[in-house]
Amino acid sequence: MTEKSSTELTEEIKARVRRNLEEIFSAVAGKNVTVMAATKTVPAEVINYATQECGLHNIGENRVQELLSKFDALDKTGVNMHFIGTLQPNKVKYIVGKVCLIHSLDSMKLAEEISKRSAASGIVTDVLCEVNIGNEPAKSGVPEETAESFIESISSLPGINPRGIMVIGPHCGDPEDYRPFFGRTRALYTRLSDRGLFGSDPILSMGMSDNYRLAVEYGANLIRPGTAVFGRRG
Protein backbone atom coordinates (compact mmCIF):
# COMPACT_ATOMS: atom_id res chain seq x y z
CA MET A 1 0.00 0.00 0.00
CA THR A 2 1.36 3.41 -0.95
CA GLU A 3 1.78 5.70 2.04
CA LYS A 4 -0.16 8.93 1.72
CA SER A 5 1.59 12.26 2.00
CA SER A 6 0.91 14.48 4.98
CA THR A 7 -0.83 16.97 2.66
CA GLU A 8 -3.27 14.29 1.46
CA LEU A 9 -3.84 13.19 5.03
CA THR A 10 -4.47 16.78 6.07
CA GLU A 11 -7.04 17.16 3.30
CA GLU A 12 -8.75 13.99 4.48
CA ILE A 13 -8.88 15.34 8.02
CA LYS A 14 -10.29 18.63 6.79
CA ALA A 15 -13.01 16.90 4.80
CA ARG A 16 -13.95 14.67 7.75
CA VAL A 17 -14.08 17.52 10.26
CA ARG A 18 -16.15 19.70 7.94
CA ARG A 19 -18.56 16.86 7.14
CA ASN A 20 -18.94 15.88 10.79
CA LEU A 21 -19.57 19.41 11.98
CA GLU A 22 -22.13 20.00 9.25
CA GLU A 23 -23.97 16.88 10.42
CA ILE A 24 -23.96 17.99 14.07
CA PHE A 25 -24.99 21.57 13.27
CA SER A 26 -27.82 20.20 11.14
CA ALA A 27 -28.99 17.92 13.98
CA VAL A 28 -29.33 20.83 16.42
CA ALA A 29 -30.45 23.52 13.99
CA GLY A 30 -33.16 25.76 15.42
CA LYS A 31 -32.85 24.27 18.92
CA ASN A 32 -30.69 26.92 20.63
CA VAL A 33 -27.94 24.40 21.38
CA THR A 34 -24.27 25.31 21.73
CA VAL A 35 -21.91 22.81 20.11
CA MET A 36 -18.70 22.63 22.13
CA ALA A 37 -16.19 20.21 20.63
CA ALA A 38 -14.00 18.23 23.02
CA THR A 39 -10.46 18.67 21.71
CA LYS A 40 -8.45 16.27 23.87
CA THR A 41 -5.36 15.10 21.90
CA VAL A 42 -6.45 17.06 18.81
CA PRO A 43 -3.58 19.12 17.31
CA ALA A 44 -3.93 22.89 17.35
CA GLU A 45 -3.86 23.12 13.54
CA VAL A 46 -6.87 20.80 13.29
CA ILE A 47 -8.74 22.77 15.95
CA ASN A 48 -7.93 26.02 14.13
CA TYR A 49 -9.36 24.62 10.91
CA ALA A 50 -12.57 23.64 12.70
CA THR A 51 -12.96 27.05 14.35
CA GLN A 52 -11.80 29.34 11.57
CA GLU A 53 -13.14 27.46 8.54
CA CYS A 54 -16.04 25.27 9.70
CA GLY A 55 -18.09 27.49 12.03
CA LEU A 56 -17.12 25.95 15.37
CA HIS A 57 -17.05 28.60 18.12
CA ASN A 58 -16.65 26.57 21.32
CA ILE A 59 -13.89 24.11 22.24
CA GLY A 60 -13.17 22.26 25.46
CA GLU A 61 -10.01 20.78 26.93
CA ASN A 62 -9.86 18.02 29.54
CA ARG A 63 -6.36 18.54 30.91
CA VAL A 64 -4.73 21.69 32.17
CA GLN A 65 -1.29 20.84 30.79
CA GLU A 66 -2.66 20.13 27.32
CA LEU A 67 -4.68 23.33 27.35
CA LEU A 68 -1.58 25.34 28.23
CA SER A 69 0.59 23.58 25.66
CA LYS A 70 -1.87 24.44 22.86
CA PHE A 71 -2.97 27.85 24.08
CA ASP A 72 -0.58 30.08 22.14
CA ALA A 73 -0.95 28.03 18.94
CA LEU A 74 -4.73 28.31 18.91
CA ASP A 75 -6.38 30.99 16.83
CA LYS A 76 -8.87 32.26 19.39
CA THR A 77 -10.66 34.68 17.05
CA GLY A 78 -14.36 34.19 17.72
CA VAL A 79 -13.64 31.16 19.91
CA ASN A 80 -14.70 30.38 23.47
CA MET A 81 -12.47 27.96 25.36
CA HIS A 82 -14.02 25.74 28.03
CA PHE A 83 -12.48 23.44 30.61
CA ILE A 84 -14.36 20.15 30.87
CA GLY A 85 -12.08 17.74 32.72
CA THR A 86 -11.35 17.02 36.35
CA LEU A 87 -9.72 20.09 37.87
CA GLN A 88 -7.42 19.99 40.88
CA PRO A 89 -7.46 23.12 43.08
CA ASN A 90 -3.70 23.61 42.63
CA LYS A 91 -4.19 23.90 38.84
CA VAL A 92 -6.90 26.59 38.96
CA LYS A 93 -4.37 29.43 38.79
CA TYR A 94 -3.28 28.29 35.34
CA ILE A 95 -6.68 28.49 33.65
CA VAL A 96 -8.62 31.29 35.37
CA GLY A 97 -8.91 34.06 32.81
CA LYS A 98 -8.16 31.69 29.92
CA VAL A 99 -11.45 29.79 29.82
CA CYS A 100 -14.99 31.11 29.55
CA LEU A 101 -16.58 28.26 31.51
CA ILE A 102 -15.41 25.55 33.91
CA HIS A 103 -17.76 22.56 33.59
CA SER A 104 -16.38 20.40 36.39
CA LEU A 105 -16.92 22.15 39.72
CA ASP A 106 -17.51 19.38 42.26
CA SER A 107 -16.22 20.49 45.66
CA MET A 108 -16.22 23.45 48.00
CA LYS A 109 -12.41 23.41 48.07
CA LEU A 110 -12.32 23.82 44.30
CA ALA A 111 -15.01 26.51 44.39
CA GLU A 112 -13.08 28.49 47.00
CA GLU A 113 -9.91 28.33 44.93
CA ILE A 114 -11.69 29.48 41.76
CA SER A 115 -13.26 32.26 43.80
CA LYS A 116 -9.93 33.35 45.28
CA ARG A 117 -8.05 33.34 41.98
CA SER A 118 -10.86 35.06 40.09
CA ALA A 119 -11.36 37.78 42.69
CA ALA A 120 -7.61 38.43 42.78
CA SER A 121 -7.68 38.93 39.00
CA GLY A 122 -10.74 41.16 39.14
CA ILE A 123 -12.87 38.78 37.07
CA VAL A 124 -15.88 36.54 37.53
CA THR A 125 -15.55 32.94 36.37
CA ASP A 126 -18.61 31.10 35.10
CA VAL A 127 -18.89 27.54 36.37
CA LEU A 128 -21.11 24.50 36.07
CA CYS A 129 -21.72 22.09 38.91
CA GLU A 130 -20.75 18.59 37.83
CA VAL A 131 -23.37 16.13 39.05
CA ASN A 132 -22.63 12.42 39.39
CA ILE A 133 -26.04 11.44 38.11
CA GLY A 134 -25.23 7.72 38.07
CA ASN A 135 -23.81 7.69 41.61
CA GLU A 136 -20.67 6.01 40.29
CA PRO A 137 -17.92 5.72 42.93
CA ALA A 138 -15.12 6.05 40.35
CA LYS A 139 -16.47 9.28 38.85
CA SER A 140 -16.20 12.82 40.12
CA GLY A 141 -19.21 15.03 40.62
CA VAL A 142 -21.56 16.15 43.36
CA PRO A 143 -24.21 13.57 44.35
CA GLU A 144 -27.61 14.29 42.86
CA GLU A 145 -29.22 14.60 46.28
CA THR A 146 -26.77 17.28 47.51
CA ALA A 147 -26.43 19.28 44.29
CA GLU A 148 -29.01 21.90 45.29
CA SER A 149 -27.44 22.66 48.67
CA PHE A 150 -23.95 22.70 47.11
CA ILE A 151 -24.96 25.26 44.51
CA GLU A 152 -26.64 27.39 47.17
CA SER A 153 -23.44 27.32 49.22
CA ILE A 154 -21.18 28.51 46.38
CA SER A 155 -23.55 31.22 45.16
CA SER A 156 -22.33 33.70 47.77
CA LEU A 157 -18.65 33.33 46.89
CA PRO A 158 -17.07 36.33 45.13
CA GLY A 159 -15.62 35.89 41.65
CA ILE A 160 -17.67 32.81 40.82
CA ASN A 161 -20.92 32.57 38.88
CA PRO A 162 -22.91 29.29 38.84
CA ARG A 163 -24.49 28.94 35.39
CA GLY A 164 -25.93 25.43 35.47
CA ILE A 165 -25.01 21.77 35.68
CA MET A 166 -22.92 19.29 33.73
CA VAL A 167 -23.29 15.53 33.70
CA ILE A 168 -21.40 12.57 32.29
CA GLY A 169 -23.79 9.66 32.50
CA PRO A 170 -22.72 6.06 33.07
CA HIS A 171 -21.34 4.35 29.99
CA CYS A 172 -24.19 2.60 28.18
CA GLY A 173 -23.83 0.34 25.17
CA ASP A 174 -27.16 1.48 23.78
CA PRO A 175 -27.76 5.25 23.68
CA GLU A 176 -31.39 4.61 24.63
CA ASP A 177 -30.16 3.42 28.04
CA TYR A 178 -29.20 7.00 28.87
CA ARG A 179 -32.85 8.06 29.04
CA PRO A 180 -33.38 7.58 32.80
CA PHE A 181 -30.18 9.48 33.62
CA PHE A 182 -30.95 12.31 31.22
CA GLY A 183 -34.51 12.47 32.52
CA ARG A 184 -33.35 12.84 36.12
CA THR A 185 -30.79 15.42 35.09
CA ARG A 186 -33.42 17.43 33.26
CA ALA A 187 -35.71 17.35 36.32
CA LEU A 188 -32.89 18.55 38.59
CA TYR A 189 -31.84 21.27 36.18
CA THR A 190 -35.41 22.51 35.77
CA ARG A 191 -36.00 22.65 39.52
CA LEU A 192 -32.80 24.59 40.19
CA SER A 193 -33.29 26.91 37.21
CA ASP A 194 -36.83 27.69 38.31
CA ARG A 195 -35.40 28.75 41.68
CA GLY A 196 -33.17 31.27 39.88
CA LEU A 197 -29.91 29.64 41.02
CA PHE A 198 -28.34 29.93 37.56
CA GLY A 199 -29.36 33.42 36.50
CA SER A 200 -31.25 34.36 33.37
CA ASP A 201 -29.39 32.16 30.87
CA PRO A 202 -28.86 28.75 32.51
CA ILE A 203 -26.79 25.97 30.95
CA LEU A 204 -27.40 22.23 30.85
CA SER A 205 -24.18 20.65 29.58
CA MET A 206 -25.12 17.10 28.65
CA GLY A 207 -24.44 14.76 25.75
CA MET A 208 -21.30 13.55 23.99
CA SER A 209 -20.55 11.86 20.67
CA ASP A 210 -22.69 8.77 21.20
CA ASN A 211 -25.72 10.41 22.78
CA TYR A 212 -25.88 14.12 21.99
CA ARG A 213 -29.08 13.79 19.95
CA LEU A 214 -30.83 12.13 22.88
CA ALA A 215 -29.41 14.73 25.28
CA VAL A 216 -30.92 17.52 23.17
CA GLU A 217 -34.24 15.69 23.30
CA TYR A 218 -33.98 15.96 27.10
CA GLY A 219 -33.24 19.67 27.08
CA ALA A 220 -29.45 19.92 26.82
CA ASN A 221 -28.47 23.34 25.50
CA LEU A 222 -24.73 22.60 25.40
CA ILE A 223 -23.35 19.37 23.95
CA ARG A 224 -19.76 18.09 24.03
CA PRO A 225 -19.00 15.86 21.01
CA GLY A 226 -15.37 14.93 20.41
CA THR A 227 -15.01 11.75 18.37
CA ALA A 228 -18.11 12.72 16.39
CA VAL A 229 -16.21 15.83 15.23
CA PHE A 230 -12.58 14.78 14.89
CA GLY A 231 -12.79 11.01 14.55
CA ARG A 232 -11.33 8.42 16.86
CA ARG A 233 -7.98 9.42 18.30
CA GLY A 234 -5.25 7.01 19.17
pLDDT at site 232:
85
The residues of the chain scoring below 50 in pLDDT are 1-9
Backbone angles phi, psi at 167, to 5 degrees: -135, 150
Q: What is the CATH number of domain 6-228?
A: 3.20.20.10
Look at residue 139 in the predicted model and tell me its pLDDT.
85
3-state secondary structure of 194: helix
Radius of gyration of the chain (CA): 18
CA pair distance 60, 80, nearest whole angstrom: 9
| Residues forming a β-bridge with 205 | 166, 222
In whole angstroms, what is the distance from residue 167 CA to residue 188 CA? 11
- Inter-residue contact 147 to 131 (CB < 8 Å): yes
Domain ranges of the chain: 6-228
pLDDT (0 to 100) of residue 10: 84
Smallest CA-to-CA distance from 220 within 35, 21, 25 is with 35
| Alpha-carbon gap, residue 214 to 9, rounded angstroms | 32
Please say whether the beta carbons of 90 and 64 come within 8 A: no
Q: How confident is the model over 13-62, as pLDDT tens digits?
A: 999 999 999 999 999 999 999 999 999 999 999 999 999 999 999 999 99
- pTM (2 d.p.): 0.93
